[in-house]
Amino acid sequence: MRTRPTIGVVAKRLGIRPSAVRFYERQGLVVSERLTNGYRTYDRDAVNVLSFISRAKALGFSLEEVREILAVRQRGTEPCARVTKMIERNLAGIDQRIAELSALRRQLRALAKSPVREKRLEAICPIIESD
């Protein structure tokens, strides 16, 4: 009989913190079994779910999106069509954020190149406060 890994082993294997594993458990996304000494252990399904969560979070999926994907899968339905829509929505958000960051970069570069104006008494920093 194979022993089930403890929280520390699972966390190390997946490259996440034990506190993250406990958080996902509190959120109802994964279930552990408690040994008589109180240690949490995880079966293969739980480890697979934790691995999925870790990868999905690294790809920018929100916890709510992860929860939705897992719920669809638990109902026995293939979630990939829904995941594709989430990816498209997330890509649009990333594109918007890139545009905003590019505009911010242009503003900061212009400010960095602008000559320092004479400081007004009430001004904290004329570089930032100039229009």
Reported confidence tier of residue 63, pLDDT bands at 50, 70, 90:
very high
pLDDT digits (tens, 9 = 90+) for 6-32: 999 999 999 999 999 999 999 999 999
User: What span, in angstroms and rounded, lies between the C-alpha atoms of 35 and 15?
Assistant: 23
Both tokens assigned to 74: 């638990």
pLDDT digits (tens, 9 = 90+) for 72-84: 999 999 999 999 9
Helix then strand then coil, in percent of the chain rounded to 5, is 65, 5, 35
pLDDT of residue 102: 98
Domain residue ranges in the chain: 1-62, 78-114
Percent of the residues in the chain that have a pLDDT greater than 90, as a whole number: 79
State how far the alpha carbon of 52 is from the alpha carbons of 13, 67, 92, 95, in Å: 13, 11, 23, 25
State how far the alpha carbon of 74 is from the alpha carbons of 68, 70, 93, in Å: 10, 6, 28
User: What span, in angstroms and rounded, lies between the C-alpha atoms of 119 and 127?
Assistant: 9
User: What span, in angstroms and rounded, lies between the C-alpha atoms of 87 and 14?
Assistant: 23
| pTM of the model as a whole | 0.79
pLDDT of residue 44: 95
What class does CATH assign to 1-62? mainly alpha
Reported confidence tier of residue 131, pLDDT bands at 50, 70, 90:
low
* Nearest partner of 29 among 16, 39, 38, 37, judged by Cα: 16
